[in-house]
Structure 1
Amino acid sequence: MIIRQVQPNDLDQLVELENTGFTPEEAATPNAFLNRINTISDTFIIAEENQVIVGYINGPVVSSPFITDDLFHITEPNPSKGGHQSILGIVVHPNYQNKGIASLLLKEFENQAKQKERLSVTLTCKKELIPFYEKNGYINQGIADSQHAGVQWFNLNKMLRVCKKENLK
């Protein structure tokens, strides 16, 4: 298994994989993927085996601790340091699920975020995925404001850095 950053020639495999993990209403479009590849390749990680993409994780760095729906349509370049690392998508091919690949991708994503001094990793997920994320150290923050694809989403996050408080005297 190779873990690497995304490359432009990954687009076709990514779109195919995306459609195994999300409904057509939820799935990122080829144009959205192309935009992410071109704009936030530093936060777009691929799991590959025998030159086949078996999983990925991606998302931009945001200033808010929670995801907003505009992130699914507009991608801005990541700052070099700070902010909150969002996850817009994490998918593992059905033939490779339950082998620890999603957790491996999360750990690599978190490690890269820590190196760039991100405050947290934030995501939205459906109710049935909450136990997976909690097992990986994420905290359920309740129902998200998201209206993406007309689905109920939950906010989850994982703190990466402890914010220093001013000494009050």
Structure 2
Amino acid sequence: MHMLIRHATMDDLDAIAAVEAACFPPAEAASSESLAARVATYPDHFWLLVNTESDDDVCFPASVQDGTLVGFVNGMTTDEPDLSDAMYDDASMHDENGAWQMIFGVDTAPLYQHRGCASYLLRRVILDSVLAGRSGIVLTCKERLIGFYARLGFTDEGVCESTHGNAVWHQMRLTLTHAAAEQA
């Protein structure tokens, strides 16, 4: 299977919304309107992993076609050091020169989950954030995912104030250093 990481365009919106809906419960999934505002405002902060060819591999059904969106990571940049719920739906809070890369979602289509796709995407986000001179990356996750993000170098800062989707969230932070760049 051949994969490509690229940034989003408005033409990707339907596929992005479909993967988002498949990955999160309705109370947590970003709405189509919110995703559209994000893509319109900061398309270079959407990293899309795309299958670039049809695959006859036994691991994937023949229905997986060229150009299929496998997964994506999205978020905005800001000088605010902590991720707040307001950021999810207010694309105007994005500051292209912000010190912190916030991550709103790490989405992998169910067919591709548990195959390393999310880790692959996150390593690219880490590398791009280092190259952009960011101070670090911040995301929130549920308790069951703390270990996954810790393996990529993120530190659990504990339960945060987020009430997004009426769930309990932990804030995770990766402070970027030369060592983080080598890890990516």
Structure 1 length as normaliser, TM-score?
0.91
Root-mean-square deviation over aligned CA pairs: 1.3
Question: What is the CA-CA distance between 1:91 and the residue it aligns to?
Answer: 0.5
**1:96 is matched by which residue type in structure 2?**
Y
Contact 2:78–2:93 at 8 Å: present in 1 too? no
Q: Which position in structure 2 is the counterpart of 1:9?
A: 11
Report the number of matched residues. 162
Does the CA-based 8 Å contact 1:57-1:91 persist in structure 2? Answer: yes
* Structure 1: gaps (5+ residues): 163-169
Q: Is the 8 A contact 2:78 2:96 kept in 1?
A: no
Report 1:118-133 matches (<5 A): 118-133=134-149
Structure 2 residues without counterparts, runs of 5 or longer: 52-65, 179-184
Contact 1:118 1:161 in 2 (8 A): no
Aligned-partner residue type, residue 48 of structure 1: V
Picking from 49, 52, 67, the partner of 2:68 is 52
Task: Answer whether contact 2:78 2:98 (CA < 8 A) is retained.
Answer: no
Distance 1:78 1:116, change over 3 A: farther
2:60 alignment partner in structure 1 = none
8 Å Cα contact 2:140/2:169 also seen in 1: yes
| Structure 1 consecutive aligned stretches of length 4 or more whose deviation exceeds 4 Å | none
Paired residues for 1:58-137 under 5 Å: 58-76=74-92, 78-137=94-153
2:167 to 117, 134, 151: 151
**Letter of the aligned partner of 1:158 in structure 2?**
L
TM-score under structure 2 normalisation?
0.84
